[in-house]
Structure 1
């Protein structure tokens, strides 16, 4: 049985992720008190219904009055039950505040604060959830992620064969829009030839063959890729040995459209051929 606990910051995309998992066949429960995790797990384990062998639940501040107990209960549950993964959602504070203002909803912790402000509630929630974030198997930052990108990320992570114990996520991005906070490794490819300065390539992206050919045909890129792949071929098995569930590799160029997309695709193809489960995301390609 697979059991996925979705948790994290309010407004960061937990409900959207749960809907995606439901669409691909998971039995889903929203707003489950952490004290009921063991009960649900045992019921699903004993069930003869195959649809309850892939389970996803959202556990967050809404259904838990004692937040310290929620954190410890999740950690205890993960340690004592098999095939449990924790998926943590986060976003930058200012973005979470904007999302709440846009929806005109109250933050679950607002009533517990004297000023009742969304900003104070978000900061308190972040502090309370820090222990869970540190031990989560997957960390996804949705600050710059569209609903479409979120759906693609979740589907890529959970639709494929789950027999492998690590997921490699290759994320292209533009440094001008900020470094992805969930990245474990950052690769700067701004040293490579830039198609932006070629008129016929400027308005294309790394998804177009002409752009990829321009980037990959240079001697600099050939040597860069050789050294980068050698380093990753050496280090990925070490992360796997340490029990890491997801390795997020950020590949950044200036705008996140040409060089970073090209290199991310090369890394994705290389590790797929080696049998790893891979996810590719182009964060800034549509900006």
Structure 2
């Protein structure tokens, strides 16, 4: 079963899954606005057949959302992904999640029922149940933690995600603040709080790790440079093993107290270093928080 004739451009398919309230509709609309043929709440049991039909009629960019209402059919997702990829499709699976507290807040604000509410569970129980039911999907996907993230930031992340080279491992360096919780999508978490904090300098406090004065402060600290060397060595040493394991992405999360200075500096510096050899992206979670005023997140493609 071939989805396209020899010489025909391969269709790109983005499958969006994740927890209810985590932003799947925002992500789907972002792709639809970018020219993708979009379908919401698609039944997984018809996935292969319908994609074959869509490709045959000439669709080259397709985005579909899959959610927990797919039931037991979600267990067949690994087999469906293999079938689609074996037939030449560029298939990417994106999984969105958020903290329980943030999901509860979003449902309270919209006053919409949770999809599993029909089973007479409380909202917290529905979220826990859904997280468990979708755990197998999350393991297959590129995960994004949308806790406190604005819709505009999520749209930017999704557009960035679909432009990545699926044949190469992408390194994501993510800054965050421990006081806001550890990111759910982290593969590795490193604690930078042992490094002197620029926050306690009144001149540096309103700045971020992207500003020259903060960069100079940290560049002059031997402990900060020793930490950078150790992080660089760790990622360099282990990256080939993740590539051999056919990983498409690796997220290295770097935390300080508030996610404004030290973690931002290290995420930026590591991204600049590894962008010489690898496809890289940088995400500054706290600079992109809802209500924040320091949205300077950048990406550094190879």
Normalising by structure 2, report the TM-score.
Answer: 0.85
Q: How many residues align?
A: 275
Higher normalized helix content (fraction of residues): 1
C-alpha RMSD of matched pairs (Å)? 1.8
Partner Cα distance (1:215, 1:164) in 2 = 36
SS where residue 134 of structure 2 aligns? helix
Distance 1:119 1:222, change over 3 A: closer
1:96 equivalent in alignment to 2:103: yes
Matches for 1:185-204 after TM superposition, within 5 Å: 185-204=188-207
Shift of 1:126: 2.1
Q: Which residue of 2 aligns with 1:34?
A: 44
Partner Cα distance (1:148, 1:15) in 2 = 13
Partner Cα distance (2:202, 2:123) in 1 = 46
2:123 to 118, 127, 130: 118
Partner Cα distance (1:198, 1:229) in 2 = 27
Q: Deviations over 1:211-258 (max 9, x none)?
A: 111112222222221221122112112111111121111011111100
Superposition misfits of 4+ residues, deviation over 6 angstroms: none
- Consecutive unaligned residues in structure 2, runs of 5 or more: 1-10, 294-302
1:11 equivalent in alignment to 2:26: no
- Consecutive unaligned residues in structure 1, runs of 5 or more: none
Normalising by structure 1, report the TM-score.
Answer: 0.89
Partner Cα distance (1:116, 1:224) in 2 = 46
Q: Is the 8 A contact 1:137 1:244 kept in 2?
A: no
Partner Cα distance (1:129, 1:251) in 2 = 26
Q: Is the 8 A contact 2:116 2:126 kept in 1?
A: yes
Partner Cα distance (1:43, 1:165) in 2 = 29
Q: Deviations over 1:244-279 (max 9, x none)?
A: 1211110111111001000000111112121x2222
Q: Deviations over 1:36-56 (max 9, x none)?
A: 2112221233233xxx22221
Q: Using the TM superposition, name which of 22-31 and 198-207 deviates more.
A: 22-31
Partner Cα distance (1:133, 1:192) in 2 = 33
Q: Is the 8 A contact 1:32 1:57 kept in 2?
A: yes
Partner Cα distance (1:175, 1:94) in 2 = 16
Q: Is the 8 A contact 1:251 1:264 kept in 2?
A: yes
Q: Is the 8 A contact 2:22 2:103 kept in 1?
A: yes
Distance 1:165 1:44, change over 3 A: farther
Q: Is the 8 A contact 1:157 1:167 kept in 2?
A: no
Q: Is the 8 A contact 1:153 1:279 kept in 2?
A: no
